[in-house]
Structure 1
């Protein structure tokens, strides 16, 4: 019997119909037989960090249950980005959708395709805030510190504003 693993992802969009892009990405992920959307955070509107001048993002996080190994899950996420129209032109540039695999169980991985936990997770309030909404006691692998504590220590001056409650995505995959 294959056991389901917990994974946490970050979602962001600042091009096109941002909320629709977030919804579509979760819908497409939930259509992968080995992925179930367990919980979604509220949506936050956030200023871009790094890169060229660009519009504000909508950001959220989701917890997943999956039987896919981490790199296969990452490939599925990249496929969803492509299907929604993400074009990679410049680092930290505007995007229709950005899906980041933040944490996968207690895995610590460093490969050309995937770094786990996500290397900038601890310094990005726009990720920590929605992640704390769904998993405040989640301990980051390799750090022995939980999300709530990381958020309390986040020194970023990012503008992160509550945008929509967690019922923005109707989850039919569980």
Structure 2
């Protein structure tokens, strides 16, 4: 069984999209806990709405590559627009942060809100 922490964020109807994404994650993985949600300022392109960010602790029998495929599928099902710039607005953003206690997303090291969410979930 693989244990992972997935970041979840949105700045387009964020509470609605995060709720929908959590339901979809539960359809694919065993969700053990969800961190507190934080409001964060946009990075890069600052002329956009603030983001709501958090993280999800879950387990799965799938490998990391398959999980990434599932996360991208969920984003696509929810209408994620991949034509906007990297730091542009998004209705949902899902990424594996931690895989079996190993940091696998470099953003973790530079974004305190991700570190706080992971710390909250690792204490469970």
Q: TM-score, normalised by structure 1?
A: 0.66
Structure with the bigger RCO (C-alpha within 8 Å, sep 6+) is 2
Tell me what 2:65 maps to: 71
Q: CA RMSD in A?
A: 1.6
Tell me what 1:7 maps to: 4
2:48 is the alignment partner of 1:54? yes
Could you list the per-position Cα deviations for residues 111-162 of structure 1 after superposition, in whole angstroms to 9, with x for gaps in the alignment? xxxxx6101211101211222211159xxxxxxxxxxxxxxxxxxxxxxxxx
Query: If each structure's helix is expressed as a fraction of its own residues, which one has the higher value?
Result: 2
2:81 is the alignment partner of 1:94? no
Could you list the per-position Cα deviations for residues 64-91 of structure 1 after superposition, in whole angstroms to 9, with x for gaps in the alignment? 1001100100110011111111101211
Q: Which runs of 5+ in 2 are unaligned?
A: none
Equivalent residues, number: 123
Runs of 4+ in 1 over 6 A off after TM superposition: none
The structure with the larger Rg is: 1
Q: TM-score, normalised by structure 2?
A: 0.92
Q: Is the 8 A contact 2:35 2:54 kept in 1?
A: yes
